[in-house]
Amino acid sequence: MNKDTIKILFIGDIVGRPGRNAVKHFLPLLKSKENIDFTIANGENLASGSGLTYEKYLEMMDAGIDYMTSGNHIWDNRDIINYLKEDKVKVLRPENYPFGAPGNGHVVLKIKDSEIVLANFLGRVFIPDLVEDPFKEALNIADNYKDKIIIIDFHAEATSEKAALAHYLDGKIGALLGTHTHVQTADEKILPGGTAFISDVGMCGPIDSILGVEKGLVIKRFLTGLPERFKVASGDCLFNACLLEIDETTKKVVSIKRINEVFSNN
């Protein structure tokens, strides 16, 4: 392992028990194979596909995840909110929720000999939550931590919004990794200014599903327009992640690699 680089694994949205099982299978293998220094995962769908509980959080920390980000489902399960208020969990909620929302939107981490800023933002296109401008708030983070390596999880629906924020911050941050759509995109790249970008890291969840949810329930909702209680699907699972390698001297990402594996539940 090169002592002058940091390897960070970022795992896409973990959906329910199937996704958690996929993480428990692949994470130890990847840590050994890739010499990973730190693991981040989007955990907003940990508990039955919507929100997260402290119990499920602990399960994933025991599996080897070091820190979690989230998104618009962070408030779906009230169990976690009190822990966010007391800073008892290594979970970020989006930075651009209005002032007074419990929890933190960014954190400074010491990894090897470097300080890494992990920040979480929520998009505004096609997402109804009332949040502050992610462009303005993300630029504040970039300006306040110019001497550190910044990694942003941008939880957003529109590819254009994700790409626009990445280009807006190009050269000011180390990486912008998109989450939320549960579909891994094949557009990973390092932008001209040196910022690593991918539109969406993808998900850890059932393959034979609609974004991790049982197909029939989603189809019924589209056909009738009536609300349906969604249920996480079963069967074989995707394990989607992204591996960043960062040069500690230049504080630049030197490579970004997609990971797309299949976990058999049989």
What are the catalytic residues? Answer: 73
Six token digits for residue 114: 């470097």
- List the structure tokens of 7: 């390897």
Tokens describing residue 99: 């002032």
Residue closest to 95 by CA, chosen among 174, 162, 153, 8: 153
Greatest Cα pair distance in the chain: 57
Q: How far is CA 197 from the centre of its chain?
A: 13
Residue 245, strand partner residues: 7, 255
Residue 202 structure tokens: 């993808």
How do strand 149-155 and strand 114-122 relate by DSSP bridges?
Answer: parallel
- Spatial distance between the Cα atoms of 62 and 191, rounded to a whole number of angstroms: 35
